Amino acid sequence: MCKIGACAVIAAAGSGRRMGGVSKPNIKLLGKTLFEYVLEAFDSSNVSEIVVVCSEDNEESLRALAVGTKKPISFTRGGVTRAESVRNGVEASAKSSTLICVHDCARPFVTPEMINETLDAAYKHGAACVSSPVTDTIKQKDAVTGFVSTPERATLFAVQTPQCFKKSLYLQALNMLAESISSFTDETSLLEELGVEVCYIQRSETNMKLTAVDDVPIAEILMKRKGGDL
């Protein structure tokens, strides 16, 4: 078990545009918000502190939901893009937190075991991330020529969160790529630009991200099954 200081950075500052403008962390599944599911998992994990990256619109409600959290918790404001929000979260972490664990608040199925396994792997390898095989055939279109190619499906996988890494590596990548961080949709891509070899972990449980309104009833059924009610 990794014993060094680790900070959870919960990215919860999205606009919720594809959710009809509703703040995603405040969406409820079986009467509990996505934020509470995520916070409970991190509060029971091996991280030593939690930084919540929130927006002007949801800060008050998230602070109210976090009362009673056992671990040290703080709030910071997000940026225009996810990458900027994560950067603000990392910058708000304690000096003693040498590992960072980034998680999308839109993924409520995260568990303490998933977090701890990813933290341990990042401690050993420098960076680690939860991923899953893709089940659709994926196409890639060249932006200039319009040529469409089909990468072999067996070589593809989808990258999720938690994404954990040594803070020193992230800060090096940030230093190198500060001008362009907004174009990175996750931290593994940023770290790979620096040459870091990320350890990708596949786990069997669902770790879906709620993106659109139609995801809510599906997630609710999966949450019921997870709780043993189905």
Count of all residues that appear for the chain in the document: 230
Stretch that binds ligand C5P, among 11-19, 109-117, 127-135, 222-230 (CB under 6 A): 11-19
Toward ligand C5P, which CB reaches closer, 120 or 207? 207
Question: Any contact of residue 11 with ligand C5P (CB under 6 A)?
Answer: yes
Question: Any contact of residue 87 with ligand C5P (CB under 6 A)?
Answer: no
Q: Which of 40, 79, 171, 203 binds ligand C5P (CB under 6 A)?
A: 79
The closest alpha carbon to 102, from 138, 124, 78, belongs to: 78
Amino acid letter, residue 66: A
Ranges of H-type helices in the chain: 34-43, 59-65, 82-91, 112-125, 167-177, 187-193, 215-226
| Binding positions for ligand C5P, 17-36, rule CB under 6 A | 24
Give 45: exposed, middle or buried? Use CB within 10 Å, 0-12, 13-18, 19+: buried
* Separation CA 88–CA 135 (nearest Å): 34
Question: Any contact of residue 81 with ligand C5P (CB under 6 A)?
Answer: yes
Stretch that binds ligand C5P, among 61-69, 103-111, 142-150, 212-220 (CB under 6 A): 103-111
**How many Cβ atoms are within 10 Å of 158's Cβ, its own excluded?**
14
Question: Any contact of residue 108 with ligand C5P (CB under 6 A)?
Answer: no
* Separation CA 104–CA 210 (nearest Å): 10
Question: Any contact of residue 50 with ligand C5P (CB under 6 A)?
Answer: no
Stretch that binds ligand C5P, among 101-109, 176-184, 197-205, 221-229 (CB under 6 A): 101-109
Which parts of this chain interact with ligand C5P (CB under 6 A)? 11-14, 24, 53, 78-82, 85, 104-106, 209, 211
